Chain A
């Protein structure tokens, strides 16, 4: 398993296709919390269950100030068909060209197979990683870790953010 970026690190910025003719960059989410869910492949059974679960939990994520982004190496057209099929209401980003470059920058790329790890990152309002987790590839990690991480940030949000920011500028 790859070494994914740990808490305390600034999340590398990126700009990726979110539809065939639109792109989204991480910096556009600054000021909001973000959940990055890297997964191996659209249409695979485990990924399907995982994105379906997260799709149902969007109200809980948004209640905690977080936007969810899904990322895999699938192309934008593939993402579009998958999102329609599963009725997804959050963006799927295409880490397609150069393939897996964003996943690599997070330590979440599987070289042998050429797909993303099943890795989760929760980012604070400043784009600093507050929690990260890499699941065994065949195991759906569920959402409990994400919700727990977001709850730990609630309330201690300011001091936590400042401490992380300070450590970073040091």
Chain B
């Protein structure tokens, strides 16, 4: 069973509460068609689970076959540094079939960010290291393609359909609740 070896930390982009009983970590590539297909599924999972589920997205750009993937990931990080990671993330997937350097700059501009700053960040590779760290952390955790999901740290080897992921999430939620209860009982016992 492959386990997530790079724990979720403050460096991650997290949608929802980091204290949510279930954290879904997705490794993805903005040019991967399967990742784009998984986006509505992830949205639906978040809507259904509400505060019980948080999403972390990490980059896994396969840039040798997806020439725009690395630039897109760095642009998402650039947006993240300006507090708009998730809108950029969604815009990149929504425009996947037309991704090009000019499209990426247009998306950044549409979010009210400076295109000149993005150009500088890309030229300097300001966010390249972070993207690479995501990639290598994923590879070390057994990510073998995209998208790849981890549910509370355990790699989801089933399909990335709504049904399969929802089932994995609900099992993880039950386990988290049980563990929580046991911990509370342990606390109570130790106070006696």
Contacts and interface: CB of A to CB of B under 8 A. Distances in A.
A57 B135 CA distance: 9
A8 to B, nearest CB: 25
Interface in A45-59: 49-50, 52-53, 55-57
Nearest to B141: A144
Interface stretch (A20-28, A97-105, A106-114, A135-143): A135-143
Which secondary structure dominates chain A's binding surface? helix
B80 interface: no
Given A60-B136, A144-B2, A144-B139, A86 B144 contact: no
B139 A87 contact: no
Given A60-B136, A144-B2, A52 B142 contact: no
B140 A49 contact: no
Given A55-B64, A87-B64, A87-B65, A50 B139 contact: no
B39 interface: no
B139 A86 contact: no
Contacts of B144: 49-50, 53, 140-143
B145 A53 contact: yes
A86 B143 contact: no
Contacts of A149: none
Interface in B63-101: 63-65
Nearest to A54: B139
Interface residues of A, number: 19
Contacts of B142: 142, 144
Q: Tell which of A49, A50, A88, A89 has the most Cβ of chain B within 10 Å.
A: A49
A147 B139 CA distance: 9
B62 A53 contact: yes
A148 B139 CA distance: 11
Contact of A142 (B2, B62, B136): B2
Contacts of B63: 56
Nearest to A87: B64
Given A56-B135, A60-B136, A142 B65 contact: no
Nearest to B63: A56
Interface in B138-155: 139-145
A140 to B, nearest CB: 4
A56 B145 contact: no
Nearest to B143: A142
Contact of B64 (A49, A50, A52, A140): A52
Nearest to B132: A59
B139 A140 contact: no
B62 A52 contact: yes
Q: Tell which of A89, A140, A142 has the most Cβ of chain B within 10 Å.
A: A142
A88 B143 CA distance: 19
A56 B141 contact: no
A86 to B, nearest CB: 6
Contacts of B2: 142, 144
Interface of A: 49-50, 52-53, 55-57, 60, 86-89, 140-144, 147-148
10 contacts: A53-B62, A53-B144, A56-B62, A60-B136, A141-B144, A142-B139, A142-B142, A143-B139, A144-B2, A144-B140
Interface of B: 2, 5, 62-65, 135-136, 139-145
